[in-house]
Every structure is written in structure tokens, then in C-alpha cells.
Amino acid sequence: MTDSSQKNLVEIGIIKRPFGLKGELKFKQHSSTIGNIYRTTNIWIKSKSFQLEYVKDNANQTIIKIKGINNKENASKLSQHELYIAESDLSKLPEGKFYHAEIIGSKVSSSGKTIGILEQIIETGGNEVYVISLNDGKELLVANTPQFIKNFNKEKKIIQIIMPEVI
């Protein structure tokens, strides 16, 4: 996303694979962005702008149709790519909830010391798991639960955690 007109884009999910023969695609939304695909018509994939024709649900799956993508071959070229929307198209989240894009890259501190950077969020189906790259080069996985996540300062981009006890 290097184009200056695209600097305020937020990844909301991954295009999985074609669905059927007419250019429809299966789409997996990130848990923090569920529902945002229904609120927009402008999307970006591989740094290119597209228009959504429609979004529908089919047996617990989200199916999208992009204007101009009318067959399985063209749809498969977009498979396994991230889908972005403009930050201005995101819905407002409840107090204490944040989009992945808002917290990835944040400093992580424990007991007043910066211990690393939040590099990735893994969606497990239950709680999200934060992948923290520690200052010493190691990696720490922490469940996004009140037991481990104390708070997030959005303005300063700092996550305070309670270090899990090591057995």
C-alpha cells in the first residue's frame, strides 16, 4: 500500500478462494472487523481499487462479488490476498474494543518496562492471541483476555500486559 491515496486503508480480511463459476469469492473477515464489508462498496486488493457488486451470506460463509470479475479464472487471481477498505468506512467500535490495524505495531510493556512490539494477532476461534516480538529477539504469545491484557493506550500505542507465569 504505497500509493498516497491508499495510506488510510485498513485490512479487514482475506479473500479465500473462488465460489462457483461466476466470479464470486469466499471472504474471511477478521474478528475485529466483522460487518464492515457490508458498509462499503470500495475495496482494495493488491494495491488496486475495486468496486463490490454485492456481499451475501451462504451457510456461515461470506461471499463477495467484485464488479468486472465474472469467472472463476479471474476470481482465482485474487485468492489468498488481503482485502482493505478505507479507514473512514470502518464502523465505530464499543469502548475498549479496537481494530487490529490500530494495535498491531504497538509497544508492549509490563511492570513499567517496554518488553517488545505487537507483531501479529492470531484468531483462534476463541480468544485472539497476540504475537509479541520481545526485545531479546524471542517471541511471546499472550491471550487477549483480561487475565493478561491490562489496557491499551490508543494515542500512545502502548499495550500494558500482565506477564504470564512460566512453568
- CATH number among 3.40.50.1100, 2.30.30.240, 2.40.50.100, 2.40.50.140, domain 104-161: 2.30.30.240
Question: If the chain, 167 residues long, is cut into consecutive pieces of 10 residues, what is the mean pLDDT of each piece?
Answer: 58 94 94 79 95 92 96 97 92 83 94 96 87 96 93 94 76
Q: According to the model, what pLDDT value does residue 4 have?
A: 33
Report pLDDT for 8. 86
Contact 63, 24 (CB under 8 A): yes
Q: 162 is written with which cell numbers?
A: 500482565
- Fold classified for 4-89: Elongation Factor Tu (Ef-tu); domain 3 (2.40.30)
Where do the structural domains in the chain lie, given as residue ranges?
4-89, 104-161
Q: What is the pTM of this model?
A: 0.72
Cell of 109: 510493556
Cell numbers that stand for 20 in this block: 462457483
**pLDDT on residue 32:** 64
Nearest Cα to Cα of residue 34 among 6, 59, 61, 66 = 61
